Every structure is written in C-alpha cells, then in structure tokens.
Amino acid sequence: MNNKTDLSDQIFLGESPSIDEAAQNQPEEDCNCWKILIVDDKLEAHQVAKLALKRLKFERKILQFYSAFSAQEAKEILQDQPDIALILLDVVMESDQAGLELAQYIRDKLVNRLVRIIIRTGQPGKAPEELIFMDYDINDYTTKTELTRTKITSAVIGALRSYRDLTTIENQKKELQQINQKLRQEIELRQKLEAERLEQEKLRLEKEFLAKQTEELTKLNTEKDRFFSIVAHDLKGPFLPVLGNAELLIEIADYVSADEVRQRCQTIYDAGSRVIDLLDNLLQWSRMQMERINFDPVHVNLNDIIENNLWLFDQSAANKEIHLKSEIDEGVHVFADVNMLNIVLRNLTSNAIKFTPPQGQITISVRNNNAQPNQGIGFVEIAVKDTGVGISRENQPKLFRIDEHYTTLGTNEEKGTGLGLIITKEMVERNRGRIWVESEPDQGATFRFTVPTEPTE
C-alpha cells in the first residue's frame, strides 16, 4: 500500500485544482495587489498554490500570481516585474540546483534584497534545510509533503508582512535620499548665490575703495599744488629784502653810518635765517612724505628729553624775559622715536616763545593716561602751555592742514614758515599718538599730544 499522501489531498481536503481556475489568475499590470511568483516545473504545483491562496487578502489587497516553469522564465519575469513581493520556489527543475542558483542570482545579480523567497521542495534530500539556510539568502523552507492550506497561508502572510516592512523602510530611505539630494542642491545653490553675492560685494567695495583712493589722491594733489604755490611765494618773499638791502648797501656804503649798515645787514640775516628755517622744514616734510626719514622707536626717559629742550631754548626765552618751567614726575618713560620727539617739542616750544609776550610763562607738563580714559592704556599726555596771544576757534582747524598754510607774526614780529605744526602732527601720528590745541584769543594756548609708553600694533 502506498503511504504517500497526494499533495492536493493535503491542501484542499477534498477540493481538486483545475486548469480553468489557474487560467483565471493571469497577471494584470499595475494592480493594487501583492505580486507572487510561483517557480516550479510541475503545473500541478502552480494550480495547488493558486487554489489554496485565491481567497487570501492581506491589508485589503489581493494576490496577483505569476507563473514560471523554469529558472530562466523566472529571470525574465523578474526583469519585467521588479516589484514581486514573494517567490514560491522549487529547487529541482531543469537542474538539481536550479532553484538555489536562481535565489543566488536574485540576491547577487539583481541585488534584490526585498523579495521574500520560500523554498518548496519535493526532494528535501537534494536540498537539506540547514545547508540551504546557511548558504543561501532565503526566508522560509517547506517540503511539499508537509504543505497544508493553513501552513502555506501563514507562510505567505508572514512573508508579505516582512516584504511590506522592508519596502516601507526602503521607500523611506529613498525619500530621505531625495530630501538629502534636494538639500544638497539647495545648499549648492545657496552657496553659489552667496559666492556671487560676495563677489559682487567684493567688486563693489573695490570700486568704492578705488573711487575713494582716487578722490583722496586728487584732493592730496590739489592740496600739495596749493601748498607748493604758497611755499614758492614764501621762498621768494625773504629774498626781496635780501636783494633790496644788499643793492642798497652797495650804493650807500660810502655815505651811511656803521649803525645803518649794521641794521641793513641784520635785515638780510633775518631773511636768510627764515629761508634756512623754511628749507629745513621742507626737507623734513619731504623726507616724511617719501618715508625716507628713519623711524626707530625706543624706550626713553621723558624727563631727560624735556629738560634738554628747555635748556636749548633757555637763552631764546631769556631774550624775551619769558619763564620756562616743567611739571613732570621723575622716571616717566615713553616708547617713541627720540629724534621725532625732540623735533615735536622744539617746534611747540619755539612757537610758544614766538607768540608769548615778555614777562610771560611757558610750562611743559606730563600726565598719564589714567586722567584721560579716551586715550586708552599705555599713553602719556604732554602739554606745552603758554600765556601768549592765543588762537581763535575758527583758526584752530587750519593749524595742522597743509592746504591752509596758516601763519602769523609773533609778538616781536617774528615770522614763521607755517610748516612746523604740519610736520609736528605727522611725527606725532607716526609714533601712534595724536595732537590737538586748546586756546582762546588773549588767553594763551595749550598744545597737547600723546605718546605711547609701550609698543603698539
């Protein structure tokens, strides 16, 4: 007696498959369904599976069946239908390993990790379950002799649920990739727009800079043209009395007294001295403009610098009965170019003597930056104060401007070059300081400037 139970008896329990029912399950394109591929070289296996699953719905979606009777046919279907959800796969077909080779092809060649593969074999000896799971990427294993409607239904639902979850994850992954791609494109676009904006801004700033430079150069050239015109006039001026008095001396030398000759010679000497002063100031100023004057800042004792300059002008002050004094604590040090600092102090002290009447007083004082927070840390303030004629507010801005060339006579009719304060300002600023004046007419004047105590950037 044959103990083997017929496959159709196990599944259908009295129902027999028919070719007509199999024919009713022809694949439809673009259906809202779960696509299932049956790969088996036995027609009966196709009919049995379709009959067992024909009423099954999962998540309100029906099953759509595709049939392949060889591994090669399955490959063609998979090429056309990449969204197959489940494959019911026989092992032994055109060869003993045809089904397993198809499973490997699906995973490795098609790189399809989503489709669920259930092995159904009628010859388990040719494909042992343990070895199959170890060597091939399959999802379930059944023998045809064990298959019942309940078992195949459970296996199919489990496989479809797994496929659903995997496709959901894959779709979310693709959506994230699309979002990332859009974000990258957006970032690239914004970077491009920002780069263009920065380039335009750079061009705008360069254009503004060039325009400003052009304007400043034009202004500077205009100021220097005017300055040289004034200087030329000032250079010519002193020679008139020189030439006039020299010519007159030649004519009257035999007829005038020694006192008159002496007076004429004094006029020539004063005019010559003025020319020398003007030329010396011009030389200093031109060297600064061409940056040929040495700039060598060092730490220096300010007391020594001020005392030396007071000694230098002691006789000039005494000639006008002007009292010179200093108010400075011992041990005040600054960081400056000694030569420039001396020139600044000499110019300011000389001007103070020039515009201070007899019996007047000139005071040079020093205070640290704690009394003037606007100067910042590391500066001292030096002040040269006189009791002279003072300077009106409207004339104060002209003192340091090259295009104004402001100059007046001293209290003893002393003449100036008009360059001293311009040179003074440039030297103070070269040493990272600043200079300003405080004055009222007939109330004297105080010229203040700052000098750093330490190197500044």
pTM of the shown model: 0.46
Task: Report which of residues 236 and 220 the model is more confident about.
Answer: 220
Domain ranges of the chain: 7-147, 296-457
CA distance 274 to 418: 11
CATH C-level class of 7-147: alpha beta
Which residue is associated with the tokens 């056309």? Answer: 80
The confidence score (pLDDT) of residue 51 equals 92
How far apart are alpha carbons 259 and 238 in whole angstroms?
22
pLDDT in tens, 112-121: 999 999 998 8
Determine which of 77-86, 123-132, 141-150 has the lowest per-residue pLDDT on average: 123-132
Q: Are 30 and 1 in contact (CB under 8 A)?
A: no
- What is the structure's pLDDT at 372? 45
The pLDDT assigned to 134 comes to 80
pLDDT score for 27: 47
Q: Give the CB-side neighbour count of residue 289, counting CA atoms within 13 A.
A: 12
- pLDDT band at residue 2, thresholds of 50, 70 and 90? very low
Averaged confidence pLDDT in the chain: 80
Going by pLDDT thresholds of 50, 70 and 90, the confidence category of residue 78 is very high
Whose tokens are 């190197």? That residue is 455
Number of neighbouring beta carbons within 10 Å of residue 318: 11
- Which residues on neighbouring strands pair with residue 326, listed in sequence order? 364
Question: How do residues 231-253 score in pLDDT, each as one tens digit?
Answer: 665 566 566 667 777 777 777 77
Q: And the tokens for 142?
A: 């059944």
Positive or negative torsion for Cα 27, 29, 33, 37: positive
Is residue 349 within 8 A of residue 309, CB to CB? The reply is yes
pLDDT of residue 308: 85
Rounded to a whole number of angstroms, the distance between the first and last alpha carbons of the chain is: 111
b/e for 283-310, b at 16 or more Cβ within 10 A? ebbeebeeeebeeebeebebbebbeebb
Query: pLDDT: is 396 or 230 the higher one?
Result: 396
Mean pLDDT in residue range 37-64: 93
Beta bridge partners of 143: 121
Q: Name every residue whose Cβ is closer than 8 Å to that of residue 145 and which is 6 or more positions away in sequence.
A: 4, 5, 7, 10, 122
Superfamily per CATH, domain 296-457: Histidine kinase-like ATPase, C-terminal domain (3.30.565.10)
pLDDT the model gives residue 11: 41
Does the pLDDT at position 411 exceed 70? no
Q: Confidence band (pLDDT; 50, 70, 90) for 170? A: very high
pLDDT tens column, 347-391: 898 888 888 889 999 999 998 765 444 545 589 999 999 998 888
Reported confidence tier of residue 406, pLDDT bands at 50, 70, 90: low
Q: Which stretches does DSSP call E strand in 69-189?
A: 86-89, 116-121, 140-143
pLDDT at 45 over 70: yes
pLDDT level of residue 430 (50, 70, 90 thresholds): confident
In sequence order, the β-bridge partners of residue 119 are 89, 141
Beta bridge partners of 37: 66, 87
DSSP 267-311: HHHHHHHHHHHHHHHHHHHHHHHTT-S---EEEEEHHHHHHHHHH
One-letter amino acid at 190 equals R
pLDDT tens per residue across span 259-280: 877 777 877 776 676 677 667 6
CA distances from residue 74 to 36, 38, 88, 118, 158 in whole angstroms, order as listed? 11, 8, 11, 14, 22
Mean pLDDT check: name the lowest of 78-87, 337-346, 406-415.
406-415
Ramachandran area for residue 385 (φ above 0: left; ψ -120 to 50: alpha; else beta)? beta
